[in-house]
A and B are shown apart, each in its own frame.
Chain A
Amino acid sequence: MQPIIELKQVTKSFNKGGGFLGGAKQRVDVLRNISLGIKPGEVLCLVGESGCGKTTTGKIVAGLLPPTTGEVLYNGQNLASLDKGQFTKYRRAVQMIHQDPYASLNPTHTIYQTLSAPLFRHKLVKSNKEAVSAVSELLNTVDLTPVGDFIEKYPHQLSGGQRQRVVIARSLTLNPKLIIADEAVSMLDVSIRLSVIGLLRRLQQETQVAFLFITHDLAMAKYFGQGGQIAVMYLGEMVEAGPTEKIIGKPMHPYTQALLKAIPEPDPRITRAKEPVNLRSLDIPDLTSLPSGCTFHPRCPVFIQGLCEKTAPPLVQQPDGRMVACYRYEANRNAAKAGQSAS
């Protein structure tokens, strides 16, 4: 099955600083080699800490940012080469749910206006009556009932959770094939996160829409990504990727292992008995001065002197099917050797 969206060796750099009187112009490499594909109906969770580039990846998948190098393919076609009609199709197929429910709705529009605008624009409804009916159905889908209570309200009259549901409803208006959820619940209260995530799961299962679920919360990723794939990012690269249960249950990359050891858990006996994280350095490197070779090596508890700081390990498929970028594993050492002998 062809992926809806595919990223092939995408890099993304920004220029920081500089100026007429010459301050050093710095290039920040936010993404350094990202390849991924999302098939129809699939769930891919992108996890990592701040600065890993997961939000930038989401924006590139949504077409809001162009890659610096590499390809972004929609149904096999490069985005840059799409004509107007095809691009419109792509726009309708890929939608996004933002993190901040207080900033993602226009405060001067009622819920009806917000939800009906795309319907009218793309001629999915022809009259006000049809629009009201369609909007009511959308509100029902996201459990904002009774519909009459919400349809004429302004965003500031709704709670954070309700606003996020409106945002979800808006993302569904054009019947997308892929929804990118960028930290969709991290600004919501803890007690309502589960119900909103539950709603997304239900939508995913009922409509088979694909999801790119971006989060720094591994527990949320495990919950939402059940039966799907997960990719762990560090400083602009993917370090581990594969089926969610496998990666979380038995992580192979030292960074993933560190994350899982570090997560505080809401269970006193378990969390107080957790193994300590033994990273060699506490602080995360700056994107403008990345370590050589494997960017994780200064912090890695099991780093191999003479190998890890020289060259970056390639992302290689392991015997159990997942992808890992770490020289501790034979597959990676072999791939590196093969790469060396080939050059």
Chain B
Amino acid sequence: MSVQLQKSQPLELTKQYLTAIFVNPIRYIARNRAGFVGCCVLTFLLLLSFIGPYLVPLDTQARIDKIYSPPSWDHPLGTDSEGKDVLSQIVNGGRDVLIVAFLSGLITTLIAAPLGAISAFFGGKVDALITTVADIVLTIPQIPLLLVIAAVIRFNNVYMLAFILGITSWPGLLRAVRSQVLSIKEKDYVEAARLLDLGTGHIIFREILPNMMGYVAIAFILATTAAVYAQVGLILFGLVPLSGHNWGVMINLAWVRGAIFFKDSIWYIMAPVTAIVLFQWSMVTFTRSLEEIFNPSLRSGD
């Protein structure tokens, strides 16, 4: 008695792939209401920051007569200390911050996840070595370290900033990944894979890793949010050259120029703060939906 798996005609296959990539994730994300909202806000912010600038070009026109003007039809978020439109600055200010954040999160995850997995899987001396190195790096306080690095290297390049942030934040993530792998390693299905002699490669990549994807994805998101804070912190300390008009620079300028002391200028400082907070919130809330996608056993009613 033979059983057909799936029809293998190209059209069927394409339909299946498209569904898997686009429709299914949306369906799963939608399962968790909070996660869905988070996803929508995140998508909106991403579109705003990457597509927005083409639609709302940066306003570089200084208008002395319009300093700190309140929101109006022309300037929905008011103007800054030079009369420049705040909204356009918000739209154009996200891109650099987000690129650094995602890139840094990616670097952190790419270092921490494999190292954590290797450390947990092989144990013994390998584990001891890796965790010792991680502990040493972990004890170095990040902001002072960044201060010192900033004195030596110029952070005038987003990629440089992302790289530095990335390589200083991996130890925490490594420990988390390591403990997760340790617990998966003990599971009966991993033991069964050993008994069936499926091989170390199979065990790492086909047994353990798929069960960690959700965990790693969430770790990536958290690393990204941490990078946003680190960035803004650096900018507020004035360690990053204040070129460009990204959200962090906006906060710095607004603060320095006393925007919190005037009723009308409150928009100037709150706008970037709100943007950053919204981004962080949407990322973290979105992780609730990720659990649905990556953990098949949590999907009810299939």
Say yes or no: is A269 at the interface (Cβ < 8 Å to chain B).
no
Q: How far is the CA of A104 from the CA of B192 in the complex (A)?
A: 7
Complex interface residues of chain A between 107 and 159 (CB less than 8 A to chain B): 107-109, 112, 117-118, 121-122, 128, 132-133, 136, 140, 147-148, 151-152, 154-157
Specify the chain A residue showing the minimal Cβ separation from B2.
A133
- B210 A136 Cβ-Cβ under 8 A: no
- A108 B210 Cβ-Cβ under 8 A: yes
- B191 A64 Cβ-Cβ under 8 A: yes
Measured CB to CB, the closest approach of chain A to B302, in angstroms, equals 6
Q: A92-B197, A117-B198, A117-B206 are in contact. Are A132 and B5 (CB under 8 A)?
A: yes
Say yes or no: is B195 at the interface (Cβ < 8 Å to chain A).
yes
- A106 B211 Cβ-Cβ under 8 A: yes
Residues of chain A within 8 A of B141, CB atoms compared: none
Say yes or no: is B264 at the interface (Cβ < 8 Å to chain A).
no
- B302 A64 Cβ-Cβ under 8 A: no
Say yes or no: is A105 at the interface (Cβ < 8 Å to chain B).
yes
Q: How far is the CA of A253 from the CA of B198 in the complex (A)?
A: 43
Say yes or no: is A222 at the interface (Cβ < 8 Å to chain B).
no
Specify the chain B residue showing the minimal Cβ separation from A108.
B210
Residues of chain A within 8 A of B189, CB atoms compared: 103-106
Q: How far is the CA of A122 from the CA of B193 in the complex (A)?
A: 13
Specify the chain A residue showing the minimal Cβ separation from B296.
A154
- A108 B2 Cβ-Cβ under 8 A: no
- B197 A96 Cβ-Cβ under 8 A: no
Q: How far is the CA of A118 from the CA of B189 in the complex (A)?
A: 13
Specify the chain A residue showing the minimal Cβ separation from B199.
A121
Specify the chain A residue showing the minimal Cβ separation from B196.
A118
Residues of chain B within 8 A of A91, CB atoms compared: 195-197
Residues of chain B within 8 A of A155, CB atoms compared: 297
Residues of chain B within 8 A of A103, CB atoms compared: 187-189
Residues of chain A within 8 A of B202, CB atoms compared: 117, 121
Q: How far is the CA of A105 from the CA of B187 in the complex (A)?
A: 9
- B192 A170 Cβ-Cβ under 8 A: yes
Partner of B1, one of A88, A136, A167: A136
Residues of chain A within 8 A of B193, CB atoms compared: 106, 117
Specify the chain B residue showing the minimal Cβ separation from A156.
B297
Say yes or no: is A200 at the interface (Cβ < 8 Å to chain B).
no
Residues of chain B within 8 A of A157, CB atoms compared: 302
Measured CB to CB, the closest approach of chain B to A184, in angstroms, equals 12
Say yes or no: is B127 at the interface (Cβ < 8 Å to chain A).
no
Residues of chain A within 8 A of B199, CB atoms compared: 121
Q: A64-B191, A108-B211 are in contact. Are A154 and B297 (CB under 8 A)?
A: yes
- A128 B197 Cβ-Cβ under 8 A: no
Partner of A132, one of B3, B196, B197, B299: B3
Residues of chain A within 8 A of B302, CB atoms compared: 154, 156-157
Specify the chain B residue showing the minimal Cβ separation from A87.
B197
Measured CB to CB, the closest approach of chain A to B6, in angstroms, equals 8
Q: How far is the CA of A121 from the CA of B197 in the complex (A)?
A: 8
Residues of chain A within 8 A of B210, CB atoms compared: 106, 108-109
Binary contact track B187-220/A, C-beta < 8 Å → 1, others 0:
1110111111111001000110011000000000
Q: How far is the CA of A151 from the CA of B299 in the complex (A)?
A: 19
Partner of B195, one of A96, A121, A132, A133: A96
Say yes or no: is A62 at the interface (Cβ < 8 Å to chain B).
yes
Specify the chain B residue showing the minimal Cβ separation from A153.
B302
Q: How far is the CA of A109 from the CA of B207 in the complex (A)?
A: 9
Say yes or no: is B295 at the interface (Cβ < 8 Å to chain A).
yes
- A64 B195 Cβ-Cβ under 8 A: yes
Q: How far is the CA of A156 from the CA of B299 in the complex (A)?
A: 9
Q: How far is the CA of A236 from the CA of B278 in the complex (A)?
A: 60
Say yes or no: is A100 at the interface (Cβ < 8 Å to chain B).
yes
Residues of chain B within 8 A of A132, CB atoms compared: 2-3, 5
- B5 A95 Cβ-Cβ under 8 A: no
- B195 A151 Cβ-Cβ under 8 A: no
Say yes or no: is A332 at the interface (Cβ < 8 Å to chain B).
no
Given contacts A64-B191, A174-B196, 7 further A-B contacts (CB under 8 A): A92-B197, A96-B195, A98-B192, A100-B188, A104-B188, A147-B1, A170-B196
Closest 4 A/B residue pairs (Cβ):
A156-B297, A104-B188, A108-B210, A91-B197
